[in-house]
């Protein structure tokens, strides 16, 4: 028996539900189904959503969203595993791209020095 390992290259992520190991994987067909059912950014902290998205990624017809909710795996680790498998499906093993909106721009240090020094110039003799 060959055991599949988690791999960002192939997009396979191992999860344990109810003492059994399952493999999460999100091919394009499943990504399109997730997008149609849950939108472009599904809320993986919603129990119904994470169970549904998780069940869509498991290639076992007996592992439905209802079955996942019944077996009740720890929510945060399961949601993290689902999110990681989804990231692998979209980006492979590459790091996530930076969000240009949240990236802070640092001001030049020379400008900061001038702004700090400016109030003290008014009282000094030239």
Neighbours of 31 (CB within 10 A): 15
- Predicted confidence at residue 6, as pLDDT, reads 81
Is the per-residue pLDDT at 105 higher than 60? no
Rounded Cα gap, residues 102 and 93, in angstroms: 23
Is the per-residue pLDDT at 52 higher than 90? yes
Contact 4, 59 (CB under 8 A): no
SS3 content of the chain, % helix, strand, coil (to 5): 45, 10, 45
Rounded Cα gap, residues 122 and 118, in angstroms: 7
Exposed, middle or buried by CB within 10 Å (0-12, 13-18, 19+), for 61? exposed
pLDDT, mean of residues 87-107: 71
Which residues 6+ apart lie within 8 Å of 79 measured at CB?
44, 45, 50
pLDDT confidence bin for 1, thresholds 50/70/90: very low
Residue 16 is classified by DSSP as E
Is the per-residue pLDDT at 42 higher than 90? yes
Rounded Cα gap, residues 58 and 48, in angstroms: 16
Rounded Cα gap, residues 45 and 74, in angstroms: 12
Rounded Cα gap, residues 14 and 84, in angstroms: 11
């Amino acid at each position: 028996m060959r055991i599949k390992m988690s791999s960002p290259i192939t997009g396979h992520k191992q999860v344990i539900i109810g003492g059994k190991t399952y493999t999460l994987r999100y091919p394009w067909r499943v990504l399109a189904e997730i997008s149609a059912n849950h939108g472009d950014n599904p809320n993986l902290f919603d129990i119904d959503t994470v169970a549904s998205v998780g069940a869509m990624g498991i290639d076992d017809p007996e592992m439905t969203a209802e079955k996942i909710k019944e077996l009740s795996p720890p929510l945060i680790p399961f949601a993290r595993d689902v999110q990681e498998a989804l990231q692998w499906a979209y980006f492979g093993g590459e790091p996530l791209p930076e969000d240009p909106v949240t990236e802070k721009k640092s001001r030049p240090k020379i400008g900061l020095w001038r702004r700090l020094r400016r109030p003290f110039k008014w009282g000094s003799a030239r």
